[in-house]
Structure 1
């Protein structure tokens, strides 16, 4: 089974699908650093560095024609989620990226892949339910003869050490399809959710602003003396409520919102959802649970289930953004395996 990764970023979905047993044929993204990262880690795949809005369906024909008759194909898409984020919604109602799902549909319509996988923030589903991008996409899938199932899932229930809620869709032209059941949490054999420390506890300590000499991307952002005092005053799993009065920022006085910023992760629980600023102490609960700094790029990658050998290229800000934007590898792997199981059952039923 062959996988094509639209809006691939650095390749979180591709890595999960590869671990599930799919062959990665093509990645598409416009970010140059993500393109470099993808090419380095998926050397046998091809990559198109460009905006999908400027691509024609025929532009990927050469990557599909050689395999089309022999093996089924899977199209995956995780379009940029910022237009649908709760934090961005008030100022981004006219964001042109909202129609990227429609752009993806051009390729689905042209090649009719046996399977489609989509991951995005829950807000993609809730904005303008009847005429919004997700509702339109579902109607277009139905017209093309696809069965589908979709749901807002929690990533920690699929082996990801994060409280990350995402809208996921699986579609198939071969028959009715359902999302895989959770592997972790209540009602499963693994009732304990994966924790931060299970993901990052093996990494050696570094200081704020330091880069480890041998572990790729184990690099942490520097902290001002003031912010170093603030994180030292914050307990693991806690927030700025621990600070003495002289460390409180003026903008936080009398304000109870954004409680996660400057917070520390708890060791024995999943982290909060990583964002594009996941290595910045002031942008979320991204403080290391033990060391006095924000998590490193490598630690963020571990929380996204990337293997240690997966290397990210670019500067500190870019690599952190790539990791935060990625689909968690363990979740993509689970959905990739469910696609393979569905196809095997289809083949078995067809032979009867």
Structure 2
């Protein structure tokens, strides 16, 4: 295969703190800008990636605002992950208006593709999106592109989580080599990802890493986590420890809360509430606390030194949990970028796409 590094200029819509961007950059793609309406994403995006952060609502974005960034390479890539809340299985009641607004962002992404006509497009989102009519409408915006999409089990590409995501890659250059099937890797475990971090207690913040902090636990929750075993559930506890809601028939079917992770297995899906012991199986495997924000970020495959806060800024669990939980895992972004780079190399060389072994 051609060894030349293709010059691909990308814009990352809905970039958040830069998970997808960081992965694309690691694969060799030149991300020229990230766009997001959340001002709290600016520092982590710009501190870790050599690209400007555009604080904009994508709904209000004009295609002309992106042309200068996409024209800075030999090829152009429009990438992004529109907010997935309307397709979440949680808190669906009373949300029809919000769901409609979020669906509109998926279609806005499609309209920008249709107007800008970049050489390449990639979209990452929740697996459920593929079953909704809005996804079919998005595909209509890709007229003239070769399109491949599938639901990817992230653990199979080296992300230490049980996390399924819809990944779409589209190209105007060729129709071959657009699948992530080649990007397999041995499963990574919680132990491999976070076991070397210093031990901390519930409510403690590590002196040299403010993000390595875990919220305090009530006396009852401390008793509960001490009674919990890795991979277990609240059903293992003595009756007096079980929450009243779980004693009811309606709560008995929800075992995946108040649990510890297992060292030698992938973590559960990291969510926006991953810092709370009672919010899922987010207890540390051996220490009596929930996982820290740094551990959550590392399970999302952010590098150990990824900066999320300016020096001296206080840690706010809800804000940082949201930013980390909503991020695209960096390793997934890198796998997507590697497929795109290999695809462009094959187009340039005139030879069929060959899987790259550079990433894994």
TM-score (norm 2): 0.89
Does 1:76 find its partner at 2:75?
A: no
Alpha-carbon distance in structure 2 between the residues aligned to 1:146 and 1:117: 12
Q: Could you tell me how far 1:183 is from its partner in structure 2?
A: 4.4
Q: Could you tell me how far 1:60 is from its partner in structure 2?
A: 2.4
Alpha-carbon distance in structure 2 between the residues aligned to 1:41 and 1:6: 17
Does 1:64 find its partner at 2:58?
A: no
Contact preservation (8 Å) 2:111, 2:141: no
RMSD, aligned CA: 1.6
Q: Map 1:93-108 to 2 at 5 A.
A: 93-94=96-97, 95=99, 96-108=101-113
Q: Map 1:212-291 to 2 at 5 A.
A: 212-254=206-248, 255-291=251-287
Please state whether the residue corresponding to 1:264 is helix, strand or coil. coil
Q: Could you tell me how far 1:216 is from its partner in structure 2?
A: 4.5
The size of the alignment, in residue pairs, is 334
2:163 matched residue in structure 1:
164
> Which residue of 16, 26, 38 corresponds with 2:23?
16
Q: Deviations over 1:88-114 (max 9, x none)?
A: 334433321112111112321222111
Alpha-carbon distance in structure 1 between the residues aligned to 2:229 and 2:70: 53
2:146 matched residue in structure 1:
147
Please state whether the residue corresponding to 1:181 is helix, strand or coil. helix
Q: Could you tell me how far 1:50 is from its partner in structure 2?
A: 1.9
Alpha-carbon distance in structure 2 between the residues aligned to 1:256 and 1:135: 37
Q: Deviations over 1:143-167 (max 9, x none)?
A: xx10011111100011000010111
Q: Could you tell me how far 1:35 is from its partner in structure 2?
A: 2.0
Alpha-carbon distance in structure 1 between the residues aligned to 2:189 and 2:94: 34
Does 1:54 find its partner at 2:60?
A: yes
Please state whether the residue corresponding to 2:114 is helix, strand or coil. helix
Contact preservation (8 Å) 2:204, 2:215: yes
Contact preservation (8 Å) 1:152, 1:168: yes
2:38 matched residue in structure 1:
31
Q: Could you tell me how far 1:82 is from its partner in structure 2?
A: 1.1
Please state whether the residue corresponding to 1:272 is helix, strand or coil. coil
Please state whether the residue corresponding to 1:89 is helix, strand or coil. coil
Contact preservation (8 Å) 2:189, 2:267: yes
Alpha-carbon distance in structure 2 between the residues aligned to 1:304 and 1:75: 22
Alpha-carbon distance in structure 2 between the residues aligned to 1:102 and 1:280: 34
Contact preservation (8 Å) 1:279, 1:295: yes
Of the structure 1 ranges 152-161 and 248-257, higher mean CA displacement relative to structure 2 is found in: 248-257
Please state whether the residue corresponding to 1:138 is helix, strand or coil. helix
1:205 matched residue in structure 2:
199
TM-score (norm 1): 0.91
Alpha-carbon distance in structure 2 between the residues aligned to 1:207 and 1:216: 14
Contact preservation (8 Å) 1:86, 1:123: no
Please state whether the residue corresponding to 1:119 is helix, strand or coil. strand
Alpha-carbon distance in structure 1 between the residues aligned to 2:41 and 2:255: 31
Long gaps (5+) in structure 2: 1-7, 310-314, 352-360
Alpha-carbon distance in structure 2 between the residues aligned to 1:288 and 1:109: 46
Contact preservation (8 Å) 1:212, 1:219: yes
Q: Could you tell me how far 1:256 is from its partner in structure 2?
A: 2.1
Q: Could you tell me how far 1:182 is from its partner in structure 2?
A: 5.4
Alpha-carbon distance in structure 1 between the residues aligned to 2:82 and 2:187: 27
